[in-house]
Structure 1
Amino acid sequence: MALVLLYLVVLILLSIVLFGVASMLFGRGEQLPPLPRGTTATMLPASGVTGADVDAVKFTQVLRGYKTSEVDWVLDRLGRELDLLRGQLASARAAAGTDLAAGDGSRGGDPG
């Protein structure tokens, strides 16, 4: 019986020591205050989104995956950025095409 009591005392002391060491290593468990409702930590630059910006996006995890509103916001933002860039590319190509067409007509004269 004394042996069982000794094991129990050693187990309790060991648990106290391990708890103390873990508390010193990992802190006392302070948590950051929650973000105000309607705000998010998900961020993208206002314009000029790069691949590194997309890689750095973090979403809040909720019970069933990621917070849908944050994912939708990022996808909408990236969609608008893609539309803007494609529009700029199309207008640049159109301007280059009209410059080439104007350049061909302004040469005049016979080639031979």
Structure 2
Amino acid sequence: MLSWILLILVLAALVAVGTWLWGTVFGRGEVLPPIGDPATVRDANRRAVTDGDLGAVTFELVPRGYRPEQVDDVIAHLAWQLAEARRELSGRPGAEKD
């Protein structure tokens, strides 16, 4: 009986050491490194949206998708551009109003 208890304790110790060693060698398993300073990413995304190059918009990856504040900023900038375009169109002579 004592040999079984000793075997279980040794096995538990090996699992703990093996898990620590595996984590040390292979790291946390991040998919991609961070893409940069959030302010730089925000400015680059706004510039890409203003230029109409939506393929150049980048978001930093987080565990469940993209960083929400970066996505919200791009959506807000797109909404602002749409409102500006509508305002310019409504100011034209002979333009139809909704």
Q: What's the TM-score once normalised by structure 2's chain length?
A: 0.50
- Off by >4 Å, runs of 4+ in structure 1: none
Identity, % of aligned positions: 30
1:58 match: secondary structure? coil
Instruction: Tell whether the 8 Å contact from 1:49 to 1:81 is kept in structure 2 after alignment.
Output: no
| Structure 1: tracts of 5 or more residues without a match | 1-31, 98-112
Distance 1:46 1:88, change over 3 A: farther
Output one character per residue of 1:5-62: Cα deviation in whole Å (capped at 9) or x when no partner: xxxxxxxxxxxxxxxxxxxxxxxxxxx88744x5242422298441xx2121011001
Output the CA distance in 1 between the equivalents of 2:82 and 2:71: 16
In structure 2, relative to structure 1, the CA distance for the partners of 1:48 and 1:58 (3 Å cut) is closer
CA RMSD of aligned residues (A): 2.8
| CA 33–47 in structure 1, closer or farther in 2 if over 3 Å, else same | closer
For 2:94, the aligned partner's letter is A
Asked if 1:45 is matched to 2:47, the reply is: yes
| TM-score normalised by L of structure 1 | 0.44
Shift of 1:75: 0.1
Q: Tell me, in whole angstroms, the C-alpha distance in 1 between the residues paired with 2:64 and 2:39.
A: 20
Question: Is 2:76 the counterpart of 1:76?
Answer: yes
Between structure 1 and structure 2, the one with the greater Rg is 1
Q: Which structure has more helix as a fraction of its residues? A: 2
Question: Aligned pairs, how many?
Answer: 61
